[in-house]
Amino acid sequence: MSTAENVGAGPGYTARELTVHRRPAELAKVTRALRATGRPITLVPTMGALHEGHLELIRAARKVPAAVTVVSIFVNPLQFGPGEDLDRYPRSFEADLELCREEGVELVLAPEPADMYAPDRQVGLTAGGLGEQLEGASRPGHFDGMLTVVAKLIGIVRPDLALFGEKDYQQLVLIRRMARDLNFDSRIQGVPIVRQADGLALSSRNAYLSDEQRQAALGLSAAMAAGVHAGPAGPDAVLAAARAVLDSEPLVRVDYLELRDVELGPVPDAGEARLLVAAEVGDTRLIDNALVQLGPAPE
């Protein structure tokens, strides 16, 4: 397979065709040339196994007038710890390309790990204190690896806008903080969680669930809904309502259930907050979250 593959008709790069680049430096040359023409660049980083949640990110990226949308497909080994699911993480590259083509994506970056990381790599990013909380407490180093690859992708593509899903809410907060702290000129945009009709948040890891486990996993979204409903009664009521739902489902083993402010600091007594949960269902780790209005809604 060549390093730059035109998936549409005709040779080379033409707008509205999909071209796959394996080498980051080659894609960087293309995006630099496009930027020189005045066209904005939008980036949707993914680890592949695309589903409707990813497609909503792509659709949001494509709404930017005259934008060229870049989708990265890269299962980043740095954000998987020992014993996690790196080897079995869902991979469906050809199907992913077809979805990208259907959504009008023009450029895909699909590197191998050796293209992204030198064998003697020494420099990376650290996520700081927030990176050691919530997901970071259970997955040490996860957010360091995530921020490192996102910083590399932004450096390669130099997008005007990069889009991330709110399902990985802690990730989104950390990426925004990284962009601020490191003076990136790319704007970071969150896109709301996409759910199936029964409320389950879309995730590539949902493919691991048996029918029984999937039914049990609905407890996470039900807990979020219960917490949102209890918001006017205050923080304690929110956590109690969500916990009651989770405790009623024996197949759900809760890692954490926490209420924070929207920047994931201490929870306020009133105003907007974020309710977050992580749990194991079978041997699959799932996360969910919801925006909660504590106290009476502002007039």
Tell me: is residue 139 an annotated ligand-binding position: no
Tell me: is residue 202 an annotated ligand-binding position: yes
Tell me: is residue 92 an annotated ligand-binding position: no
Tell me: is residue 84 an annotated ligand-binding position: no
Tell me: is residue 167 an annotated ligand-binding position: yes
In three-state secondary structure terms, 165 is strand
Tell me: is residue 171 an annotated ligand-binding position: yes
Give the Å distances, CA to CA, from 186 to 60, 154, 164, 203. Answer: 16, 8, 13, 26
Tell me: is residue 49 an annotated ligand-binding position: yes
Tell me: is residue 63 an annotated ligand-binding position: no
Tell me: is residue 54 an annotated ligand-binding position: yes
* Sheet bearing 252-261, strands edge to edge: 252-261, 271-281, 284-294
Q: Which residues contact 180 (CB under 8 A, 6 or more apart)?
A: none
- Clarify whether 54 is annotated catalytic: yes
Q: Which residues contact 234 (CB under 8 A, 6 or more apart)?
A: 269, 270, 294, 295
Tell me: is residue 166 an annotated ligand-binding position: yes
- 199 closest CA partner among 176, 179, 172, 224: 224
Q: How far apart are CA 4 and CA 24, in angstroms?
A: 10
CA atoms within 13 A on the CB side of 215: 4
Tell me: is residue 196 an annotated ligand-binding position: no
User: Cα dihedral sign for 112, 164, 191, 233?
Assistant: positive
Query: Which entry of 21, 54, 142, 229 is annotated as an active-site residue?
Result: 54
Active site positions, annotated:
54
Question: Annotated binding site for (R)-pantoate, which residues?
Answer: 79, 171
Question: Annotated binding site for beta-alanine, which residues?
Answer: 79
Question: Annotated binding site, which residues?
Answer: 47-54, 79, 165-168, 171, 194, 202-205
Question: Annotated binding site for ATP, which residues?
Answer: 47-54, 165-168, 194, 202-205
